Chain A
Amino acid sequence: MTLTTPVKASAREGRWRALGLRADVRNLSLLGVLAVLVAVGGLTRPAEFLATSNLQLVLTQASVIGVVTVGMTFVITSGGIDLSVGAIVALASVWATTLATQEFGFAGILFTAVAVGLGCGLVNGVLVAYGGMVPFIATLAMLASARGLALQITDGRTQIVTVPSVLDLGVPDAYVLGIPPLVLVFAAVTAAGWLLLNRTTFGRRTVAVGGNPEAARLAGIDVRRQRLFLYLLSGLCCGIAAFLLVVLAGSGQNTNGNLYELDAIAAAIIGGTLLSGGRGTIVGSVLGVLVFTTITNIFALNNLQSDVQQIAKGAIIVAAVLIQRRTVRDGDG
């Protein structure tokens, strides 16, 4: 019973899977929703909606929340939740735009944003993994504290960014082949997140911890360390998102990232990540983000107020989850 030589029986069996192109009903149905939205946008505002500059705008707006959602997807897949993402983005963005930080230029702002994100994630992770706190409570506490600290730093004022190299990233001159750098960052984070979740031991452990923490522990996985890393990862994504937001807004404000936690959770859930853990999809999450951003864009172009947007968002969440329940339900009941 030595197991050193793998059977080479079905090398091609998993070709499609190897490419990661498995037809996932959830992603297909979300792609359908997105197609419908594009059609609606194209029909109601043909000139504005399909303009290159508008598509660039939609993708840019999706980038900030998108990066946060990638981190959130990992946390939810592991059976956790991170309610503090919006507050961390706020804190990181204001800390990165203080006069003292701006003295260090581009690198200072980037480093501070990422470091603050990681720091907050570390606290979340230690509280959850080693302090035995329920993620909901630990990250709720972080939400409150980080928002408070952000307000204390800014005293409610908007901190204008005066570092040219940071601001330059947001202008059309910096676009690479018409793609804004922020969108490239988002794409890179998405790709890295997908690979991390689907191709590495880290991703596999994340899914195992979310699917059955006790079985994962008895299989020899260090569940606590894994949880710590996951909140660190979410914090890292918040730090990156905060930097993108600083570039986009040209400033740092303590009200940044308001309700990002809800947008990120909603995007991940309609994408097909199980709130109870054990199953997660980065592609679905990104599609979820794109759906929400596109709705917002179409409503803005049609001069509809944000109250209508909110109602539509709620309806989409309900509809998407109901459709998933119908399509995903298989014969194990």
Chain B
Amino acid sequence: MPEEHPPLLTMSGITKSFPGVRALDGVDLDVAPGEVHCLLGQNGAGKSTLIKVLAGAHQPDRGAITWNGEPVRLRSPSAAVRLGIATIYQELDLVEGLSVAENVHLGHEPTTAGFVRGRAARDTTATLLKRLGHPEIDPTRRVGALSAAQRQIVSMARALSHDVRLIVMDEPSAALDPDEVANLFRIVADLTTDGVAVVYISHRLEEIRRIGDRVTVLKDGRAVARGLPAATTPTREVVALMTGRDVPYVFPERPTRPPAGEPVLRVQGLARKGEFEALDLELRPGEIVGLAGLVGSGRSEILETVYGARRPTAGRVSVDGRPLRPGSVPAAVAAGLGLAPEERKAQGLLLLESVTRNVSVSSLARFSRAGWIDRATERETARTATRTLSLRPDLPDAPVRTLSGGNQQKAVLARWLLRGCRVLLLDEPTRGVDVGARAELYAVIRGLADDGLAVLLVSSEVPEVLGLADRVLVLREGRVVHEAPAQELDEHRVLDLVMEGSPAE
């Protein structure tokens, strides 16, 4: 264990305030060379602020940083990079219009008399990509043309293009499939063997168990536990530290009687060329149907096509027996469909606006006469919806961007609750939501179904689909390969079905 080494990095008493919030309150963190140090905490616990301090993007109000035994100040991101600290942010900061090699060397291009030595840049990039296990990525390729997983590799290559001693990874596995996560772990193991330290942030406890050495838990801007052994600390204890609660994943009970009644949503032969093949699906009121599959299996595309945000190449969608106009979101919304999209901030929310306006945006006709909005009714009705879902804080005028991930998701759900929607399409409803808040969100979703909504759920977390859905459709490469009640499946079976026969990458 790395305990015998002197620490590579010591942060002590780091305090950082923003107007109105104390984001960090005397946080201590020490990282040894070659160690994988995991940082855990709910959203808003201060993880992002801490790594931004470490990256030189934020200046702490108080506190000291020691690097290799010497006190340092990280005045700018480039100062941190010069010391050998690289950060891979969750929202990747790549320039889509530039090539892979240009991105990798952005800001420190190899030059001769001011001219970029393109061949040298390409060669070192190719070497780095090979080291990262992705020699198939062409250094001359435009980054905009790469998949999310490949971009992550490029981001990592960029970090390694500096002489790094410490890499900070913010939720690196969030956009990855299981086999890609395995590659990520291999890379992390390689790095630590070379003596590079990794600060690893993830919501997934099982990952931390597999690759972490020690764990520091943040809560409300303080380190509530430092340097716990990652492999042996009981999950229960870690979750309790993070949340003050004991149980991480609690799925609500399924109703005892099977869903009855006529299907509210009927999908017949729906297909989009190159994305997914003829899909048949029926949803009854009160039923939650889950779609399980890898990234690229067509799950999000199916939801968006059902919703009219993408135009199908074949097939049709009907609600209550009436076919929807294909490729029209307003038609789908009018018929009673609602979508909680995968990228909540980019696709779901009006970030500059208040909670009320985010909730009411799809139901404006309801509060208006001749285009004139009755704002008192709007506000109070929206509040009824957010209270039904226990959205916190209960402040209708608070900007939606100040809410936690789970409460932002509730704002999106409240939007459809208010609209009186009958079929709810949920794409990764718990992405970016802390462990503690998930159980509550599951209960909310089940509660909506119990009230007669039909729910179509997509999640890359198999336990979530199995725990929440009544019936599960397993997708592989755009085809449904299996359909069964959730109780008859387990995680291994689903993963086998999902991976089986898929070409090795």
- CB<8 Å pairs between A and B, sample of 14: A3-B384, A6-B377, A8-B380, A9-B383, A201-B364, A201-B372, A207-B357, A208-B353, A214-B346, A215-B346, A216-B350, A220-B334, A331-B20, A331-B21
Which of B278-329 touch A at CB < 8 Å? 307, 309, 329
Measured CB to CB, the closest approach of chain A to B331, in angstroms, equals 9
Interface residue? A177 (CB, 8 A): no
* Complex alpha-carbon distance, A87 and B381, angstroms: 45
Pick from A11, A217, A220, A222: contact of B376, CB below 8 A.
A11
Q: Is the CB of B387 within 8 A of A220?
A: no
Q: Is the CB of B347 within 8 A of A214?
A: yes
Q: Nearest 8 CB-CB pairs, A to B? A: A220-B333, A6-B380, A331-B18, A331-B19, A201-B364, A211-B350, A6-B381, A200-B371
Q: Is the CB of B387 within 8 A of A211?
A: no
Q: Is the CB of A7 within 8 A of B372?
A: no
Pick from B307, B350, B368: contact of A212, CB below 8 A.
B350
Instruction: A218-B329, A331-B20 are known; give 7 further A-B pairs, CB within 8 A.
Output: A3-B388, A207-B353, A211-B352, A215-B350, A216-B361, A220-B330, A331-B19
Set of chain A residues within 8 Å of B417, measured between Cβ atoms = 1, 3
Pick from A7, A201, A204, A279: contact of B383, CB below 8 A.
A7
Set of chain A residues within 8 Å of B380, measured between Cβ atoms = 6-10
Set of chain B residues within 8 Å of A11, measured between Cβ atoms = 376
Q: Encode B344-378 as 1/0 by CB contact (under 8 A) with A.
A: 00111111110001000110110010011101110
CB-nearest residue of chain A to B419 = A220
CB-nearest residue of chain B to A278 = B352
Interface residue? B68 (CB, 8 A): no
Interface residue? B402 (CB, 8 A): yes
Given contacts A14-B376, A331-B18, contact A6 B361 (CB under 8 A): no
Q: Is the CB of A201 within 8 A of B368?
A: yes
Pick from A17, A204, A222: contact of B364, CB below 8 A.
A204
CB-nearest residue of chain A to B365 = A201
* Complex alpha-carbon distance, A207 and B361, angstroms: 10
* Complex alpha-carbon distance, A223 and B376, angstroms: 26
Q: Is the CB of A215 within 8 A of B21?
A: no
Q: Encode A178-199 as 1/0 by CB contact (under 8 A) with B.
A: 0000000000000000000001
Pick from B19, B334, B339, B384: contact of A6, CB below 8 A.
B384
Count of residues in B whose CB is under 8 Å from the partner chain: 51
Interface residue? B341 (CB, 8 A): yes
Measured CB to CB, the closest approach of chain A to B107, in angstroms, equals 22
Set of chain B residues within 8 Å of A218, measured between Cβ atoms = 307, 309, 329, 339, 341, 347-348
* Complex alpha-carbon distance, A202 and B420, angstroms: 22
Set of chain A residues within 8 Å of B451, measured between Cβ atoms = 1
Interface residue? A221 (CB, 8 A): yes
* Complex alpha-carbon distance, A331 and B401, angstroms: 12
Interface residue? A333 (CB, 8 A): yes
Interface residue? B385 (CB, 8 A): yes
Pick from A9, A14, A214, A216: contact of B375, CB below 8 A.
A14
Set of chain B residues within 8 Å of A14, measured between Cβ atoms = 375-376, 379, 397
Q: Is the CB of B361 within 8 A of A208?
A: yes
* Complex alpha-carbon distance, A300 and B209, angstroms: 75
**Interface of B: prevailing SS:** helix
Measured CB to CB, the closest approach of chain A to B234, in angstroms, equals 36
Set of chain A residues within 8 Å of B384, measured between Cβ atoms = 3, 5-7
Interface residue? B415 (CB, 8 A): yes
Interface residue? A307 (CB, 8 A): no
Interface residue? B448 (CB, 8 A): yes
Measured CB to CB, the closest approach of chain A to B381, in angstroms, equals 5
Measured CB to CB, the closest approach of chain A to B56, in angstroms, equals 15
Given contacts A201-B364, A208-B361, A211-B350, contact A219 B371 (CB under 8 A): no
Measured CB to CB, the closest approach of chain B to A329, in angstroms, equals 9
Interface residue? B426 (CB, 8 A): no
Measured CB to CB, the closest approach of chain B to A197, in angstroms, equals 11
Q: Is the CB of A219 within 8 A of B19?
A: no
* Complex alpha-carbon distance, A208 and B357, angstroms: 9
Q: Encode A3-27 as 1/0 by CB contact (under 8 A) with B.
A: 1011111110010011000000000
Q: Is the CB of A1 within 8 A of B448?
A: yes
Interface residue? A173 (CB, 8 A): no
- Most A CB contacts (10 A, CB to CB) among B329, B351, B388 go to B329
Set of chain A residues within 8 Å of B39, measured between Cβ atoms = none
Measured CB to CB, the closest approach of chain A to B291, in angstroms, equals 18
Given contacts A1-B451, A220-B362, A332-B401, contact A201 B351 (CB under 8 A): no
Set of chain A residues within 8 Å of B368, measured between Cβ atoms = 200-201
Interface residue? B418 (CB, 8 A): yes
Q: Encode A38-78 as 1/0 by CB contact (under 8 A) with B.
A: 00000000000000000000000000000000000000000
* Complex alpha-carbon distance, A330 and B401, angstroms: 12
Set of chain B residues within 8 Å of A205, measured between Cβ atoms = 364
CB-nearest residue of chain A to B339 = A218
- Most B CB contacts (10 A, CB to CB) among A3, A199, A202 go to A3
Measured CB to CB, the closest approach of chain B to A207, in angstroms, equals 7
- Most A CB contacts (10 A, CB to CB) among B334, B348, B448 go to B348
Set of chain B residues within 8 Å of A219, measured between Cβ atoms = 333, 361-362, 415
Given contacts A18-B375, A200-B373, A219-B361, contact A279 B352 (CB under 8 A): yes
* Complex alpha-carbon distance, A279 and B401, angstroms: 15
Q: Is the CB of A221 within 8 A of B346?
A: no
Set of chain B residues within 8 Å of A217, measured between Cβ atoms = 309, 329
Measured CB to CB, the closest approach of chain B to A53, in angstroms, equals 39
Measured CB to CB, the closest approach of chain B to A193, in angstroms, equals 14
* Complex alpha-carbon distance, A279 and B353, angstroms: 9
* Complex alpha-carbon distance, A221 and B330, angstroms: 6
Pick from B346, B357, B376: contact of A204, CB below 8 A.
B357
* Complex alpha-carbon distance, A279 and B341, angstroms: 23
* Complex alpha-carbon distance, A200 and B330, angstroms: 19
Set of chain B residues within 8 Å of A215, measured between Cβ atoms = 341, 346-350
Q: Encode A295-333 as 1/0 by CB contact (under 8 A) with B.
A: 000000000000000000000000000000000001111
Measured CB to CB, the closest approach of chain B to A164, in angstroms, equals 38
* Complex alpha-carbon distance, A333 and B58, angstroms: 9
Set of chain B residues within 8 Å of A207, measured between Cβ atoms = 350, 353, 357
Set of chain A residues within 8 Å of B373, measured between Cβ atoms = 199-201, 204
* Complex alpha-carbon distance, A333 and B384, angstroms: 31
* Complex alpha-carbon distance, A193 and B159, angstroms: 50
Which of B404-460 touch A at CB < 8 Å? 415, 417-418, 420, 447-448, 451
Given contacts A219-B415, A331-B20, contact A211 B353 (CB under 8 A): yes
Measured CB to CB, the closest approach of chain A to B422, in angstroms, equals 13
